Amino acid sequence: MDYSTAPALVTTNLQLIMLYLIPLRLLLLAPPAVGDAEAEAKLPLVLPNRTRFPALHALYAPLLRALRAGDLYAYRAHAHGAARKVLVHRHLAAAIERLELFVVYALLSRVHAKLAETGDPSRIDIATLTRALSLSVASPHMRRQQLDTGIEPVETSPPDSSEQPEDEEEEESIEDGDTIAYLVQLISMGFIKGYVSPDNGVVVLRKTRPFVIEV
């Protein structure tokens, strides 16, 4: 064995492990059990070291930053653009698509925190969340056109122009039914504490820490 190649071999093996471990930690994430210290429950969004693992950093940093920001457009633009070839080749595309739910979770958590600054956020109109989701899936150009009165948009991380989807003008339409589906899924998984009242057009959240995982 040529021991001079050992460091490079170790680095390669570490990269392969981390390639799957980063999304796997999110996919296997579970809400804390009753009685656990919920304050310590956080999304595992640790970026790969840029210097040691430049390829992994280029692959995952835009995705994790968009996830933290609740920016569906930036997340999809990278996953379906610059990262698509690697994700498909490594059979990770389905996992990354599944993790979009955490992008929605981060966005709803930000909206809840924003509303808490001015009042009681335990009852939120479904239409308010639908508006936030509609802004999140829209391109930066379309966001500027859509913004009028209502809640302020959350901070976003628009992708580089080289990562723009081919059909940028074909914007996705988010309806209240889509918002309710996201909420029901996150509530059933235990990540959001509360319930949806479609007849009243609201989601009713627990008074304390309705979003049990910190972003």
pTM of the model: 0.83
Structural tokens at position 74: 């930036």
From first to last of its 215 residues, the chain has per-residue pLDDT tens of 444 445 555 678 889 999 999 999 999 998 887 665 544 578 888 888 898 899 999 999 999 999 999 999 999 999 999 999 999 999 999 999 999 999 999 999 999 999 999 998 999 999 999 999 999 999 888 877 766 544 444 554 544 444 444 444 456 789 999 999 999 999 999 999 999 999 999 999 999 999 999 88
pLDDT value for 65? 96
pLDDT value for 141? 80
Sheet with 123-125: list strands edge to edge: 123-125, 202-205, 194-197
CA dihedral 163, 164, 165, 166 (to 10 degrees): -110
Structural tokens at position 121: 């956020």
Between CA 34 and CA 13 the distance in angstroms is 38
Chain centroid to CA 35: how far?
26
pLDDT value for 149? 42
Between CA 19 and CA 55 the distance in angstroms is 10
- Which helix (H) or strand (E) segment holds residue 195: the answer is strand 194-197
Residue whose token pair is 């390639």: 19
Residue whose token pair is 């639908």: 130
Structural tokens at position 79: 């996953």
The answer to whether 96 and 76 have CB atoms below 8 angstroms apart is no
Chain centroid to CA 112: how far?
15
Could you tell me how many residues make up the chain?
215
- Which helix (H) or strand (E) segment holds residue 202: the answer is strand 202-205
CB atoms within 10 A of CB 22: 23
Cα 76 to Cα 67, 152, 156, 182, distances in angstroms: 10, 22, 13, 17
Please give the DSSP secondary-structure letter assigned to residue 28.
T
